[in-house]
Amino acid sequence: MIFKTVPGSDGEEIIIAHNPETGDMYEFNDIGSYLLPMFAENLPMDQMLARILSEFDATEEEISADVIPFVERLIDLGMVELKPTPRQQAE
pLDDT score of 17 = 85
pLDDT score of 87 = 58
Which are the contacts of 60, defined by CB distance < 8 A and separation ≥ 6?
Answer: 49, 53
Q: Which long-range contacts (CB under 8 A, 24 or more apart) does 76-81 make?
A: 77/19, 77/24, 77/26, 78/1, 78/19, 79/1, 79/17, 79/19, 79/26, 80/39, 81/39
Examine the pLDDT at 18 and tell me if it is beyond 70.
yes
Residue-wise pLDDT for 22-81, tens only, equals 888 888 877 788 888 888 888 888 888 999 999 888 899 998 898 888 888 888 888 777
pLDDT score of 59 = 92
